[in-house]
Amino acid sequence: MKKTCNINPKMNQLLSAFADGHLSEKDRSLVVRHLEACDLCRDEYAAIQSIDRLLRKSEELEPSANFADSFWRKVDAMEAAKERKAWFNWRDWGFRPVWAAAAATLVIASGVFLYHRTPFRALDDAGDSTGLLIAEDIDLYDDFEVVQHLELLEQWETISSMEEI
Amino acid sequence: MLNYQNGDQRAFRELFEIHQKPVINFCFRFCQNRALAEDLAQEVFLRVYRGAAGYRPEARFNTWLYRIAVNVCLNETRKIHYRVQVDSIDRPGPKGGDDSPKQICDEEQADPGEKVASKQRGEMIARSLAGLPDQQRIALALRTYQEFSYEDIAGQMSCSEGKVKTLIFRARQSLKEMLKDFL
Ligand SMILES: [Zn+2]
C-alpha cells in the first residue's frame, strides 16, 4: 500500500532526487525542513536508503575464466575480416583496371593477329576492313579467354560485392 | 583512451582489464543471465574497439562506455523477445571457470543461516530488478551501481534529466513494494 505525504504529495519524488543529491538548493532545504517535521517522509527516505543499500549488497559476477580469451578471439576475427575487406577493396579499385587493361591489350593483340593472318590479309588487300569482318563474325573472339569473359568485367561491381568472392 | 585512439593496443587492453567486470555486471543486472551478460559485454568492448575514432575526448571515457552498454542492452531486447530468466546465484555459468557470483560479504555471512538468507535476498533482488521496465532498470543501475549523475545518465539514455529523475523514482517505488520483506 503506497503512502503519500498529506502535507506535500510531491515529497516522494523529491526524496528520491534528494537521496541522489540532485535537488536545487531551494528544494533541498525544503526537503530537509520537511523531514524534520514529517514521520511518514522520514520513513520513506529511510526506505529509499535501504533499497540502495540492499541493491549494492547484491551479487557481483566475476568474469568467466575464458571471458577475456573469447573476447580477444572475437577481436582477431574482426581484424582478419577487416584485412580481407581491405584486400577486396584493393582488388576492387586496383585490380579491376589491370583486368581492363589486360583485356584491352588482348583485344588489340588479337586484332593485330587476325589482321596478319593470311585470309584476312588477303581480304584486306582486297579492300575489306578487318574490323568489319570481326564485327560480322563475333565467334572469332571465342579463342581468346579474356574476351569471352568481358561480360564478367562489366558485372564486376555486382560480383565483387558478393560475400563469397 | 586517447592513447588507444593513437593506435596503442596496450592502452585498450588496460581499459578492457579495468572495465570488464563492471560492464559484465551492468549487463547482468539488465538481463539476469550470465552467458548473455558476457556476450553483451563482449559486444560492448568490440564496439569500443571499433568505435574509438568516434570517441569525443570532452566526454569522460566511462560515460561513453556505458552509453554504448545501454545501447547494446536495449538493442538486445529489440532483437530477441526474450523472457528474462533469473539465474540461480548458485548455478555455474556455461563458460566454466570461477562462475559462482560473489556476494559482497557481510561479517555475519559465515553463519550458514545468514548464507541462505543472503542467497534468498540476492535472488529476490534479481527477480525484482527483472520485473522493472527496461528503462527504469537501466537508469537505476547506472545510478546505484555505476554512480553516474542524472546528467550523465540522460546523455547515456538519450533522454532528459527530468525523465531520468522520474525513471529512478518509479523504479524505487516498485522495488520498495517488491522488496518490503527485506527492508
Ligand atoms: Zn511528508
Q: How far is the CA of A33 from the centre of ligand 1 (A)?
A: 10
Contact B166 A13 (CB under 8 A): yes
Prediction pTM value = 0.69
Q: What would the pLDDT profile of B45-76 be if each residue is shown by its tens digit?
A: 999 988 766 666 667 889 999 999 999 999 98
Nearest chain A CA: its distance from B78 CA (Å):
23
CA A9 to each of CA A41, A88, B91: distance values in angstroms, whole numbers, following the listed order: 10, 65, 44
Given a contact cutoff of 8 angstroms between Cβ atoms, the answer to whether A47 and A39 are in contact is no
* Chain B nearest-CA residue for A43: B183
DSSP states of B3-59 = HHHTT-HHHHHHHHHHHHHHHHHHHHHHH--HHHHHHHHHHHHHHHHHHGGG--TTS
Q: Spelled out in words, what is the top-level CATH class assigned to the domain B2-86+122-179?
A: mainly alpha
Confidence of residue A74 (pLDDT cuts 50, 70, 90): very high
Highest mean pLDDT among B51-55, B119-123, B126-130: B126-130
Confidence of residue A113 (pLDDT cuts 50, 70, 90): low
How far apart, in whole angstroms, are the C-alpha atoms of residue B110 and residue B108? 6
Q: What is the pLDDT of residue B71?
A: 95
Q: What would the pLDDT profile of A17-49 be if each residue is shown by its tens digit?
A: 999 999 999 999 999 999 999 999 999 999 999
For residues B65 and A161, which has the higher predicted lDDT (pLDDT)? Answer: B65
For residues B1 and B62, which has the higher predicted lDDT (pLDDT)? Answer: B62
Contact A47 B24 (CB under 8 A): no
Query: Three cell numbers at A77?
Result: 576475427
Element spanning A14, H or E:
helix A11-19
Q: What would the pLDDT profile of A83-92 be if each residue is shown by its tens digit?
A: 887 776 665 5
How far apart, in whole angstroms, are the C-alpha atoms of residue B115 and residue B112? 5
CA B150 to each of CA A28, A54, B74: distance values in angstroms, whole numbers, following the listed order: 16, 21, 19
